[in-house]
Structure 1
Amino acid sequence: MTGQVTTVDGRVAGRRGQATRQKLLDCLGKMLGTSPYRDVRVIDVARKAGTSPATFYQYFPDVEAAVLEIAETAVRESGDLSELAAGRSWTGKAGRQTAEELVDGFLSFWRKHDAILRVIDLGAAEGDRRFVRLRTRIQGALVKPLAESIEGARSRGRGADKGPTPVALAGSLVTMLAGVSSQPKSLQALGAKQADLKPALTLLLHLGVTGRRPTA
């Protein structure tokens, strides 16, 4: 961790303190992948990090504050998704490549942050405005450039001239990507092979943006 970090009481943490704080976050992140969010306790996080609850409370007032810190990291990294759609070509073979890279990048992002993204979705579903804002920022990283791509395709005579607004269509496509990314086991149980999901998402994404199937 870099930059200035302060404790709960406002003191600036030194290098060792920053390392301890980051270790607590790393341990909490791993626990979120194996335990329900509501079941994680401060004492469990501290024990896993090899420290004490008192040390945890030096950096975070409660588990939720630490969870929100981890969520902010995922939000920051979601900004990289914008580069997968902004200014990219959606015509010909280049269009297929754009769709494939965007799907691949989104799936990779979700796998990396799966645990905290599930917590964000849970909090947002419960109406917690903090988690709603976090989810909106993550979705927005891709919705905005994707909507611009849809608008561009329509202005060049590709895609449907009428129908959903570019933002509504882009938002639906991003929600589709998130839904498939978060439920691979359920889809496999229904008979959808893991190897078939990426090509299916690539096809639907390309159709959504351009109104056409990707070039073979």
Structure 2
Amino acid sequence: MTGQVTTVDGRIAGRRGQATRQKLLDCLGKMLGTSPYRDVRVIDVARKAGTSPATFYQYFPDVEAAVLEIAEGTVKESAELSQLVADRSWAGKAGRETAEELVDGFLGFWRKHDAILRVIDLGAAEGDRRFVRIRTRVQGALVKPLAESIEGLRAKGRPSGQDVSPAAVAGSLVTMLAAVSAQPKSLQALGAKQADLKPALAQLVHLGVTGRKPVK
């Protein structure tokens, strides 16, 4: 952990305190993967971390504050999603590879952060503005550069759909990727095999960005 960390009462945490705080966050993150968000209690997190509730309260006022801290960490990592699009070619074989790598990278990011992303979606769906802002920042890391790519292609007269907002197209594509990432088991139950999802998504992304199917 880098940077200055303070306790709830404003004291600066030392190296040992920072390590304890991070351990609490790590344990909470693992618990979110196996327990419903609102069923997680401070005493359970503290016990899993090998410490006491009193220690937990030194760093976080409640479980929700710790969850938001984990969510902020996910936002920081989501910034790397922009690299899947920035300065990438959408022409010919390179364009197909861009679409495939974008899909693969996004699905990998979602798998890594699945537990906290589900909590973020839940909070956002319930209208909690803190979670809405976080979800917007996570998706924005990919929506913004993707919209810029669409605008750049349109400026060269390449893709169709000139009457559709690039931001709307990019937002729709990212929302589609997030929805598929969040419910793979449901899609499999409907007959969509996991091995078939990536190429299907890559084709839809390429079509949405360029107006054309990817070359084989």
**TM-score over 0.5 for the alignment?**
yes
Does 1:86 pair with 2:86?
yes
Corresponding residue for 1:197? 197
Are the equivalent residues in 1 in contact too, given 2:161–2:211 (CA < 8 A)?
A: no
Q: Number of aligned pairs?
A: 216
Tell me the secondary structure at the aligned position of residue 75 of structure 2.
helix
In the alignment, the residues of structure 2 paired with residue 152 and residue 25 of structure 1 have an alpha-carbon distance, to the nearest angstrom, of 41
Structure-2-length-normalised TM-score: 0.98
1:1-216 map, 5 Å: 1-216=1-216
Aligned-partner residue type, residue 62 of structure 1: D
In the alignment, the residues of structure 2 paired with residue 181 and residue 66 of structure 1 have an alpha-carbon distance, to the nearest angstrom, of 24
Structure 1 runs, 4 residues or longer, greater than 6 Å off: none
In the alignment, the residues of structure 1 paired with residue 54 and residue 101 of structure 2 have an alpha-carbon distance, to the nearest angstrom, of 45
Deviation at residue 147 of structure 1 after TM alignment: 0.4
Structure-1-length-normalised TM-score: 0.98
Tell me the secondary structure at the aligned position of residue 202 of structure 2.
helix
Aligned-partner residue type, residue 30 of structure 1: K
Deviation at residue 163 of structure 1 after TM alignment: 3.2
Tell me the secondary structure at the aligned position of residue 61 of structure 1.
coil
Tell me the secondary structure at the aligned position of residue 212 of structure 1.
coil
Deviation at residue 155 of structure 1 after TM alignment: 1.7
Structure 1: give runs of 5+ residues left out of the alignment: none
In the alignment, the residues of structure 2 paired with residue 200 and residue 20 of structure 1 have an alpha-carbon distance, to the nearest angstrom, of 44
Deviation per CA, 1:100-126: give whole Å up to 9, x if none: 111111001000000000000000000
Deviation at residue 151 of structure 1 after TM alignment: 1.0
Aligned-partner residue type, residue 64 of structure 2: E
In the alignment, the residues of structure 2 paired with residue 4 and residue 179 of structure 1 have an alpha-carbon distance, to the nearest angstrom, of 36
In the alignment, the residues of structure 2 paired with residue 93 and residue 163 of structure 1 have an alpha-carbon distance, to the nearest angstrom, of 26
In the alignment, the residues of structure 1 paired with residue 126 and residue 115 of structure 2 have an alpha-carbon distance, to the nearest angstrom, of 17
In the alignment, the residues of structure 2 paired with residue 132 and residue 3 of structure 1 have an alpha-carbon distance, to the nearest angstrom, of 26
Structure 2: give runs of 5+ residues left out of the alignment: none
Deviation at residue 161 of structure 1 after TM alignment: 4.4
User: Alpha carbon RMSD of aligned pairs, Å?
Assistant: 0.7
In the alignment, the residues of structure 2 paired with residue 126 and residue 149 of structure 1 have an alpha-carbon distance, to the nearest angstrom, of 32
Tell me the secondary structure at the aligned position of residue 89 of structure 2.
coil
Deviation at residue 154 of structure 1 after TM alignment: 1.4
Deviation at residue 6 of structure 1 after TM alignment: 0.6
Deviation at residue 162 of structure 1 after TM alignment: 2.8
Aligned-partner residue type, residue 84 of structure 1: L
In the alignment, the residues of structure 2 paired with residue 163 and residue 197 of structure 1 have an alpha-carbon distance, to the nearest angstrom, of 29
Aligned-partner residue type, residue 174 of structure 2: V
Deviation per CA, 1:18-75: give whole Å up to 9, x if none: 1100000000000000000011000000000010000000000000000000000100
Identity of aligned residues (%): 84
Deviation per CA, 1:140-192: give whole Å up to 9, x if none: 10111000111111122221143320000000000000000001000001111
